[in-house]
Amino acid sequence: MTIRRRRAALSLLTVLSVSVAVAACSVNGTSQPDVSVRLPPAADFPTGVSATPVTGAGLAAVIADVVGDAPGGSVEPSTCAPAALSSNPADSAGLVAQLPAASDLPGTLTVLATRVATPLSAVESQVARCKSFVRTNVAGARSTVRQVLTPAPTSPVSDVSTLGIAATQTTGGSGPGGTGDNAFGVASKSYLAQREGVRVYVVYRGLATSAAAGADPQLVADQQTADLDALFGKAVTSAFGRGR
């Protein structure tokens, strides 16, 4: 073999080696599929309800609502501040549907799939020790958040951890931190599912419901939420079933 051919062969071998190395990196997990593939189809939402994807600033706002975060604000005590989630589209994706105003539980249904670095037990421990705390938003409005753990529906997929949270947030009114007469309330009931580093939230949020106005999260936990329960099962199957 001539020197020129030998150099050409070595160059080709180098290119092939780099290509194999890049392919190996992708297979070994440095490149992960977009988390949006774990969301359920819009057709899995209740009949007559239109679910739409959330993007950009809308995704960050939905994440804040889902976890009860207050970007730019504060939480007292600070140890009760929910862990922030990434709003990077590669790490988080969501669907939101507005429920009819005439429905038994007007409000929104949300499904959020996200990558996390902590186990679901960390969320459970925080909720258990933070049954009530005060959140102040960036504009200075103070709200009292009350929350309780509540059972989540049985997971249709094995090896998936689940958790239920019922919460109320009251703002304004005659008392401190959003209590007393004329307080404005938001009620939420959340089901969470997680396997390894992927977590799914399925959340109902209702504005100014009687349960929220009463500021008792146990009232929210006791509400019958058949649509939420059914959507949770479908969301868990989409995220963790089907060989995923």
Distance CA 236, CA 233 (A): 5
Please report the pLDDT score of residue 99 as a whole number. Answer: 87
Q: How far apart are CA 155 and CA 135, in angstroms?
A: 32
Q: Tell me which of 65-69, 110-114, 155-159 is least confident.
A: 65-69
pLDDT of residue 179: 52
Q: How far apart are CA 50 and CA 67, in angstroms?
A: 23
Check residue 12 and give its pLDDT. 33
User: Quick one: average pLDDT of 83-112?
Assistant: 89
The mean pLDDT value for 162-187 works out to: 74
Q: Band the pLDDT of 238: cuts 50, 70, 90.
A: very high
Q: Specify the pLDDT at position 149.
A: 98
pLDDT class for 100, splitting at 50, 70, 90? Answer: confident
> Any bridge partners for residue 97, and if so which?
51, 109
Q: Which CATH architecture has domain 35-240?
A: 3-Layer(aba) Sandwich (3.40)
Residue 157 CA to its chain's centroid (Å): 18
Average pLDDT over the chain, rounded to an integer? 82
**For residue 147, what pLDDT is reported?**
95
pLDDT at 21 over 50: no
Strand order in the sheet with 92-98: 51-54, 92-98, 108-115, 198-207, 183-195, 161-172, 142-149, 132-136, 74-76
With cut-offs at 50, 70 and 90, classify the pLDDT of residue 180.
low
With a cut of 50, say whether residue 2 has pLDDT above it.
no
Q: What digits encode the pLDDT tens for the residues 35-92?
A: 999 999 999 999 888 999 998 889 999 999 999 887 788 999 999 999 989 999 999 9
188 contacts 156 by C-beta, under 8 angstroms: no
pLDDT of residue 48: 86
What pLDDT score does 101 carry?
A: 76
- Greatest extent of the chain over all pairs of C-alpha atoms, in Å: 93
pLDDT band at 138 (very low <50, low <70, confident <90, very high): confident
Give the C-alpha separation, 24 to 13, whole Å: 16
3-state DSSP assignment of residue 238: helix
**CB crowding 196-212: b at 16 or more within 10 Å, else e:** eebbbbbbbbbeebebb
**CB-based contacts of 178-182 (< 8 A; 24+ apart in sequence):** 178/142, 178/143, 178/144, 179/144, 179/215
Coil, strand or helix: which one is 19? helix
Could you tell me the pLDDT band of residue 10, with boundaries at 50, 70 and 90? very low
CA distance 82 to 169: 14
**142 contacts 134 by C-beta, under 8 angstroms:** yes
Residue 12 to residue 35: CA distance in whole angstroms: 36
Local structure of residue 47 (DSSP, 8 states): T
In percent, how much of the chain has pLDDT > 70?
76
pLDDT, greater one: 130 or 32: 130
The pLDDT tens digits for 182-202 are: 567 889 999 999 999 999 999
Residues 6+ apart with CB under 8 A from 185: 168, 169, 170, 171, 207, 208, 209, 211, 212, 213, 214, 215
